[in-house]
Amino acid sequence: MPTNSGHTTAIRATRVIGTNVYNTTGEKIGEIEDVMLDKSADGIMFAVVGFGGFLGIGEKYHAVPWSMLDYDTNNDGYVVPFTRPQLEQAPTHTIKELTENDGRKARDLSVSYYKAA
């Protein structure tokens, strides 16, 4: 089944990592640092969006539900339906925290915060 914008549903993780993330006004708000997979359910748990910092120092990581990202060919990146202030106020994690408790805590916090289905 294609995404909302009609793109294919299959993509290699290596093509996703490093892709810019924009809000609906076209402002770059981060980039995809990683993708967390749920091995037991054969699905994507969330995208790890890096935000802030410089050369990896001081960068914050946000677990963003995969369903919230939509690829936009005009921006050559993903678009999310929230603002920079909403992302700044979202739960942040270290890379280690993203995988604690099999990633469920980070996933559940992000689903709750972003009100994702």
Q: What would the two tokens of residue 106 be?
A: 């980070």
Q: Is the pLDDT of residue 54 over 50?
A: yes
Residue 78, burial from CB neighbour count under 10 angstroms (0-12, 13-18, 19+): buried
pLDDT digits (tens, 9 = 90+) for 13-24: 888 999 999 999
Per residue in 107-116, pLDDT (tens digit) is 999 999 998 8
Distance in angstroms (rounded) separating the CA atoms of residues 9 and 90: 27
Average pLDDT estimate for 99-112: 89
